[in-house]
């Protein structure tokens, strides 16, 4: 059987003059055919050979998504080098720390300033090379279309550094066997999606998530394995226009974007004339009844009107040919998934970690997705709940280990099972729901345990002007919240009052603090893919957290003596 990389090279050779990659710049596309991409790959391979890179050497790739990034990635894998993809917006000190850990021979960068910024915090940084220079080096015609060098299943292909929500990021090693297995699963799901919708011709896919994320990279490789035209975003500030112009069949998302789209649509409709607002509200109520199987003929009429005069216009923002939205990295709020279902845009969820080659579960596009659930376990994988309600899994998707961290590897891989650190449950239909991270559990001094993520999601939906919420209270008597963004205190209090009414006393949020500027990856308070670094936030805002508890105690004392 050919390896995943041999399959990709064969597909690119077969593509010939067909466009396989595009960068979108404003209203224009910069396109690359399969043959031209192979040419760039070969040129980059020649550069690597001339630089003395040997199989097993690490090479870091620090650049935003581009056609040149893809060519460089394929070239390094074809030469047997271990690719270390890095996030171009990551804090420079963190980037230096990752490279100190894996000691790459070369650092490929998109521009000199980016490489210089890293060198300023790490004087021993490896030699820096422009990605454009590497893929532009001349190669002899005789070398064109060299097959990738032979690789065994156990050979490491990449080291992807985890987000590091607590502690230092760890380098997750993925090998040939991991990729052979997982790409077989993802390409089968994409084939099912396109077959179920009757689409013909190459898949059209839009992509905006950085390739240094495991799921994002998997989608790239899946597209290169299939007949696909993959369009790369170049300006996150123009996503809406880029999506419309590229008119994709599907694309990968994080919940943040879909939540933002939903809020934007709802806010825009709230400003429309009364008849439009009324139609939207009636159709939403009708959809809820239909979803709950309590619909009347009148409900179906309202929904038909909304689909004809409202929803069709909203769908056009995603282009004419969207078949589904794919969502990963974190569970999507059920209300948001239902919102897109109402519009006629199915959202397919997937769940996994970098250590599980990105994916453990996926929604089946031939079935209706269940909001709040992330699909069933994919074939060949075992998943179950252990005595601590933790999801554990085993199978060909499990990584061989962390780079240079044998103890950390042994801690998460026990008796053949990988311990995900996620709390979860499975329903009677085999669909999984993720309830939060074990290490994020807040243990109150009463002994009650609270998973903060579901509460944070509820508040976020009620206060859309805020950017992040973080609930605190470990070792305390009750919960409080830090809120970043531009929210008004009155709006936050109203949201808390609404949420608290439905909660037992120990899960109620008793106080909050508005802290202004949103948490960012650059400040070290968010991971590269937008997850809270709770330990770092707790340290940075220790004074504010302490003040929240002291303020409430003072108010309670004053109330008793009033």
Q: Which residues contact 414 (CB under 8 A, 6 or more apart)?
A: none
Residue range 238-287, pLDDT digits in tens: 999 999 999 999 999 988 789 888 888 988 888 899 999 999 999 988 88
Q: What is the pLDDT of residues 116-161, one digit of tens each?
A: 988 899 988 999 999 999 998 554 444 457 899 999 999 999 999 9
How far apart, in Å, are the Cα atoms of 500 and each of 473, 487, 492?
Answer: 16, 19, 12
Q: What is the 3-state secondary structure (H, E, C) of 254-322?
A: CHHHHHHHHHHHHHHHHCCCHHHHHHHHHHHHHHHHHHCCCCCHHHHHHHHHHHHHHHHHHHHCCCCCC
According to CATH, the superfamily of the domain at 441-561 is ANL, C-terminal domain (3.30.300.30)
Class in CATH terms, 4-175: alpha beta
The answer to whether the beta carbons of residues 540 and 513 sit under 8 Å apart is no
Least trusted range by pLDDT, from 47-51, 265-269, 440-444, 554-558: 554-558
User: What residues contact residue 287 under an 8 Å CB cut-off, 6+ apart?
Assistant: 303, 338, 342
- Report the pLDDT value the prediction gives residue 560, as an integer from 0 to 100: 42
Domain assignments of the chain as residue spans, ordered by start: 4-175, 253-320+323-438, 441-561
| Topology match between the domains 4-175 and 253-320+323-438 | yes
CA distance 184 to 66: 25
Confidence of residue 1 (pLDDT cuts 50, 70, 90): confident
Q: Domain 253-320+323-438: what homologous superfamily?
A: ANL, N-terminal domain (3.40.50.12780)
pTM (two decimals): 0.85
| pLDDT top residue among 442 and 200 | 442
Instruction: Tell me the mean pLDDT in the region 410-429.
Output: 94
Q: Is it the case that residue 199 has pLDDT exceeding 80?
A: no
The predicted pLDDT at position 468 comes to 87
Distance between CA atoms of residues 256 and 532, nearest Å: 13
Cβ(209)–Cβ(254) under 8 Å?
yes
Tokens of 224: 């290169």
Q: What is the pLDDT of residue 137?
A: 57
C-alpha 539/C-alpha 90 separation (Å) is 20
């Amino acid at each position: 059987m050919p390896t995943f990389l041999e399959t990709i090279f064969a597909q690119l050779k077969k593509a010939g003059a067909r466009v396989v990659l595009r960068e979108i710049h404003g209203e224009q596309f910069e396109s690359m055919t399969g043959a031209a991409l192979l040419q760039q790959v070969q040129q980059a391979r020649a550069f690597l050979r001339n630089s003395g890179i040997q199989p097993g050497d690490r090479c870091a790739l620090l650049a935003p998504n581009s056609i040149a990034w893809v060519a460089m990635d394929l070239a390094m894998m074809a030469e047997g080098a271990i690719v270390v993809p890095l996030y171009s917006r990551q804090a420079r000190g963190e980037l230096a720390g990752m490279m100190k850990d894996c000691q790459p021979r070369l650092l490929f960068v998109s521009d000199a300033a980016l490489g210089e910024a890293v060198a300023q915090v790490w004087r021993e940084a490896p030699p820096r090379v422009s990605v454009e220079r590497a893929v532009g080096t001349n190669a002899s015609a005789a070398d064109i279309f060299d097959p990738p060098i032979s690789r065994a299943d156990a050979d490491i292909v990449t080291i992807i550094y985890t987000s590091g929500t607590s502690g230092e990021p760890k380098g997750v090693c993925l090998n040939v066997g991991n990729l052979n297995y997982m790409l077989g699963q993802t390409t089968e799901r994409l084939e099912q999606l396109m077959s179920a919708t009757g689409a013909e011709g190459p898949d059209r896919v839009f992509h905006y998530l950085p390739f240094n994320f495991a799921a994002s990279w998997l989608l790239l490789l899946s597209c290169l394995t299939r007949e696909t035209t993959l369009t790369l975003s170049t300006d996150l500030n123009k996503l809406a226009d880029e999506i419309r112009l590229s008119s994709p069949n599907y694309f990968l998302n994080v919940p943040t974007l879909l939540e933002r789209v939903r809020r934007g649509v709802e806010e825009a409709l709230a400003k429309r004339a009364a008849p439009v607002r009324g139609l939207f509200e009636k159709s939403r109520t009708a959809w809820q009844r239909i979803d709950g199987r309590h619909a009347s003929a009148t409900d179906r009429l309202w929904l038909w009107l909304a689909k004809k005069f409202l929803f069709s216009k909203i769908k056009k923002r995603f282009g004419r040919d969207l078949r589904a939205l794919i969502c990963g990295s974190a569970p999507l709020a059920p209300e948001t998934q239902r919102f897109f279902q109402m519009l006629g845009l199915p959202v397919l969820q997937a769940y996994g970690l970098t250590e599980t080659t990105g994916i453990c579960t996926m929604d089946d596009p031939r079935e209706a997705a269940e909001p709040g659930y992330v699909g069933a376990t994919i074939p060949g994988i075992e998943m179950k709940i252990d005595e601590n309600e933790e999801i554990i899994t085993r199978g060909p998707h499990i990584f061989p280990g962390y780079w240079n961290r044998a103890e950390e590897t042994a801690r998460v891989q026990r008796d053949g099972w990988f311990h995900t650190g996620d709390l979860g449950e499975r329903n009677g239909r085999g669909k999984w729901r993720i309830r939060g991270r074990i290490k994020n559990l807040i243990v109150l001094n009463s002994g009650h345990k609270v998973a903060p993520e579901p509460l944070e999601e509820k508040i976020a939906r009620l206060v859309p002007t805020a950017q992040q919420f973080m609930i605190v209270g470990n070792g305390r008597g009750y919960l409080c919240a830090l809120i970043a963004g531009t929210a008004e205190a009155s709006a936050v209090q109203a949201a808390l009052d609404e949420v608290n009414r439905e909660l037992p006393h120990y899960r109620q949020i008793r106080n909050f603090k508005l802290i202004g500027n949103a948490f960012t990856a650059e400040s070290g308070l968010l991971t590269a893919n937008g997850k809270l670094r709770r330990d770092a936030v707790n340290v940075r805002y220790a004074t504010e957290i302490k003040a929240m508890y002291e303020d409430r105690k003072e108010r309670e004392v004053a109330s008793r003596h009033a």
